[in-house]
Homo-oligomer: A and B are copies of this chain.
């Protein structure tokens, strides 16, 4: 025992170690591990036995480098605070996981500069594809993505030209429909409440479309209040109070989202304003909370989980070479409930 220090801290167990142990070639191990065709049962058994014994874990870095493709999918969303995105993410992951893909998450915080950075970082991993939110990306992001030979899906809205494919709904149409139905119901003095400085752009589009249609119908928006803070029930209540203080004759408020709308509802409750007689309230998104209120919230139900699912499955289809339409309209549903 003179040749000391035998084991120099053997790092990772590689395909070579397994091959040696199983008495086969490296490539055979590789084939067994990725379930390639034409493998004899005997080989498979030998290899898996050796692999299990050694506790071998394939190194995807090496594999991906060689195949020039990975099972990572870049998923880039603006925020995690808005309940919409977790739901969408859930939908995405449900499809990806089932097909052996992995979501790599990027959060932009509604910052264009950061979005560019995140996209760059993601592309460095040679993702199989990219899913991002909205169609209002910076020109540099569009350009960068355009150059890649991978599928790119933009989700949430379909109101602008997509880079490749857009999956979502028309926020313009949703706003039009809200305006039309509320006017038809007899409301005449409309208000609008938004937050977070109207990020993302699609919320602004929604408001503009709402205003446009209202004017068209002969009863233009009376007043609007866009708070800088992020949306929340509390902000919704505060904003409602402020808006009504300045414009007591408003009979219907369209909110940028359900959180704000619920806040408005609570405000009415605490002030003894009857809903919808004293004030009609219309939210946006159709989240669970709104349907649990003593009086159910009238809102536009958006297909969030489905949007995620569809985005991912369309991405997969693109990846598999299928021809895919550039616009996928998943629609929405105006739920006329108790508050308007």
Contacts and interface: CB of A to CB of B under 8 A. Distances in A.
Q: Which of A68, A80, A86 has the most CB of B within 10 A?
A: A80
A198 to B, nearest CB: 20
A159 to B, nearest CB: 26
Contacts of A294: 266, 269-270
A90 B97 contact: no
A233 B289 CA distance: 6
Contact of A105 (B61, B93, B269, B293): B93
A333 interface: no
Contacts of A106: 102
Contacts of A12: 68
B234 A61 contact: no
A80 B87 contact: yes
Contact of A55 (B61, B70, B86, B147): B147
21 contacts: A12-B68, A57-B124, A79-B90, A80-B87, A80-B90, A81-B86, A83-B86, A85-B86, A86-B86, A89-B105, A93-B105, A93-B107, A102-B121, A102-B125, A104-B104, A232-B288, A234-B291, A234-B292, A237-B292, A262-B289, A266-B293
Contacts of A126: 59, 61
A263 B55 CA distance: 48
A125 B80 contact: no
A225 interface: no
A150 to B, nearest CB: 11
A135 to B, nearest CB: 23
Contact of A234 (B59, B65, B288): B288
A62 B122 CA distance: 14
A18 to B, nearest CB: 14
A97 B117 CA distance: 10
A102 to B, nearest CB: 6
A314 B85 CA distance: 26
Contacts of A58: 124
A256 to B, nearest CB: 16
Interface string A219-249: 0000000000000111011000000000000
Given A61-B126, A85-B86, A87-B80, A105 B105 contact: yes
A126 B13 CA distance: 12
A103 interface: yes
Interface string A98-131: 0000111111000000100010111111100000
Contacts of A75: 105
A72 interface: yes
B70 A61 contact: yes
A64 interface: yes
